Amino acid sequence: MKKLLFALAAALVLMIPAKALEVSAPSALLMEKETGTVLFAKNEHEKLEPASVTKVMTLLLTMEAIENGTLHYDDMITASAHACSMGGSQIWLKENEQLSVDDMLKAVCVVSANDCSVALAEHIAGSEDAFVERMNQRAKELGMNDTHFVNPTGLPAEGHVTSSYDIALMSRELILNHPDIRKYTTIWMDTLRNGASSLVNTNKLIRFYEGATGLKTGSTGAAQYCLSGTAERDGMELIAVIMKGPTSAQRFEDAKALLSHGFSTYALVKAMPDGALPPVNVSLGTQATVQPVPSGESLLLEKAKAAKLEKTVSLTEQASAPIAKGDVLGTLILSSGGETVAEVPLVAGEDVPRVTWGALALRYLRTAFLGR
């Protein structure tokens, strides 16, 4: 019930109209990370080749393996002949050369190393094909209905397609649940192999756009110039996806236009009351009151509305036990300029069981004979 009520309330916020904005790329999308709100979309479900932006999924599965303990940053990975044969962007791994997971992640994020992507895939799943199966399964779980992966690199392959919407979905999953990836995606220049190999980030936003946090570039002759670019300002992180940009420079200009539009137009607001909430009286409970708590959800609002935001708390005067943690006790109403922009449930912060008949009788006797 709590989730249903919040979903209905949040719908008021999520129906944000996109203002006029033009990008040259035939497919593009702008998404806010916390809420997943789409702020701009252009042919967002068109199935196109993603080139190395594919590696967002490779990175996601790698970070998930680290999180579940089947992979560690200091694990050493041995490069196979197959991994070394990838071509394209690479760090020129030699067969049987060993690098740590940490170094391979750096190589994938900074210079889009195809050889390291396949080496990670083989180490995690046992083979590249098995890893690709995991990629497609994870895509299905994320609702990436426009996507079919054939490899973990994005090198040209028949049937290897995705969409700007799906790229935003997997990018959001990566940066929302694995923020440590920033340790690699924000590197501008670095080295590997004790300084013998130099790395310069393919994502020019990292150096030239304020607040840039990542994420992944890609380009091939057929895919042209693609990008999933992320940036954060004032506690709000945005994802700008560009597919089939006409030039490398233009994809970055399009991404900057999307990001700047988002930062100048929207703000992320926590659905929290301005002051402490009073306790709610409980009848027939094991305790006399229960403390309501706000959901703490984030709301995405136009800046003009966020600047004039007013908050009103409405709480029930009394609740009957039993009360379960999460039961709705009231509503936090957020309005701006006389318009309600969201209604967020205020819920019980703890369980309050119903008092037993024996305890109720004892309570009555104490009140009757002892005055307490």
What lies within 8 Å, CB to CB, of 70 at 6+ separation is: 124
Residue type, 364: Y
Q: How many residues does the chain have?
A: 372
Chain centroid to CA 341: 23
Q: Which CATH superfamily is domain 18-266 in?
A: DD-peptidase/beta-lactamase superfamily (3.40.710.10)
- Which active-site residues does the annotation give? 52, 55, 112
Handedness of CA 38, 42, 47, 53 (dihedral sign): negative
Distance, CA of 162 to CA of 144 (rounded, Å): 8
**pLDDT digit string (tens) for the chain, length 372 residues:** 444 444 434 433 444 444 578 899 999 999 999 999 999 999 999 999 999 999 999 999 999 999 999 999 999 999 999 999 999 999 999 999 999 999 999 999 999 999 999 999 999 999 999 999 999 999 999 999 999 999 999 999 999 999 999 999 999 999 999 999 999 999 999 999 999 999 999 999 999 999 999 999 999 999 999 999 999 999 999 999 999 999 999 999 999 999 999 999 999 998 889 889 999 999 988 999 999 998 778 899 999 999 999 999 999 999 999 999 999 999 999 999 889 998 999 999 999 999 876 655 565 556 655 555
Domain parsing of the chain, residue ranges? 18-266, 280-370
* Level-2 CATH architecture, domain 280-370: Sandwich (2.60)
pTM: 0.87
What lies within 8 Å, CB to CB, of 119 at 6+ separation is: 77, 78, 79, 80, 83, 93, 99, 104
Which of 229, 231, 220, 237 minimizes the C-alpha distance to 254?
Answer: 229
